[in-house]
Amino acid sequence: MGTVRIIGIDPGLRRTGWGVIESDGARLRYIASGLVVSEPDAPLAYRLLQLHDGLSEALVRHKPREAAIEETFVNRDGRATLKLGHARGIALLAPAACGLIVSEYAPNVVKKTVVGSGHADKRQIRVMLGHLLPRARPESNDEADALAIALCHAHHRRSRALLAATATP
């Protein structure tokens, strides 16, 4: 299967977290993580541009081959959901424009994969990140979530590869 560099993206209009890991079979290695912040008083189009530019910079600097993004959950506030959808569109567009494979995962799948429970809280995610990626020191929950999304993708792509390798023709 070989080593693959993966970027996980936790989209948000105010703050979009990103985290890059390398996966080589069962071995995982932390590369980098960060946060892209948009100016809250700027018009929506410029906030989206800030997110695009920040993610594009991370993609160029760290050169991942695959991307994983958290799926949007719908909440009761339609306007907030729509704004999150705009940010998520940028989070999908930036890696796709670089030619990356882009996968999406529901929040409960990410939690279940990383922690073992689909209802894990932020603290539990950080504890597991400490075990799985001991060099990672995410400064925000958005960065931690992005790293968890990347870990989820590493696990699921490995599972798909193992299934494909053991399938009989």
The contacts of residue 79 (CB under 8 Å, 6+ apart) are none
Strand order from edge to edge, sheet including 101-105: 27-37, 15-24, 3-10, 66-70, 101-105
Among 10, 66, 143, 145, the one annotated catalytic:
10
Separation in Å, CA 142 to CA 8, 24, 27: 10, 25, 23
d(CA 127, CA 129): 5
Tokens 């990103």 map to which residue?
Answer: 18
Q: How many CB atoms lie within 10 A of CB 3?
A: 11
Could you say which of 22, 142, 143, 145 is catalytic?
Answer: 142
Distance CA 32, CA 18 (A): 8
Q: Is 142 assigned a catalytic role?
A: yes
3-state secondary structure of 102: strand
The catalytic position among 66, 70, 143, 145 is: 70
Q: Which amino acid is at 22?
A: E
What is the set of active-site residues?
A: 10, 70, 142
